[in-house]
Structure 1
């Protein structure tokens, strides 16, 4: 369920970044901040479990950042 939500957020963010590049920064930062809370909470587990629990949140945050920047980069390459 979480994977589907992250994929949907990436698609929505990429489309938003393509259509409205400047206005896409705020939703991207909010989504990454939310995933950062989960990552920090997961990392409080002891030992290797902390890395294991925080990894999905950090990789999801990285995916959101990449999709937003890809949308803005594609918009920048348009000839008009």
Structure 2
């Protein structure tokens, strides 16, 4: 799972750098999918629910950060 998230983040960062407007849809779709996993894991009772939903929450944050970093880097380029 870790390698998949790293791969998705890398693809989104490159996509956000090359075509910033078109990168938002895949980013939102990925975050929606990870959010569904987080909500499903959070339904477990107590501490177990927090433990099961945390990987999905942190992965969703990483996807958002990689997309915004690609768009921000594109904004700093001279062309």
TM range (shorter): over 0.9
Match of 1:32 in 2: 31
Consecutive unaligned residues in structure 1, runs of 5 or more: none
Aligned partners of 1:40, 1:26: CA distance in 2, in Å? 21
Shift of 1:79: 1.1
Q: Which has the higher helix share?
A: 2
Aligned partners of 1:66, 1:74: CA distance in 2, in Å? 12
Match of 1:15 in 2: 14
1:13-62 Cα shifts (integer Å, max 9, x gaps): 00000000000000000000000000000000000000000000000000
RMSD of aligned residue pairs (Cα, Å): 0.3
Consecutive unaligned residues in structure 2, runs of 5 or more: none
Structure 1 stretches (4+) deviating beyond 3 angstroms? none
TM-score, length-scaled by structure 2:
0.99
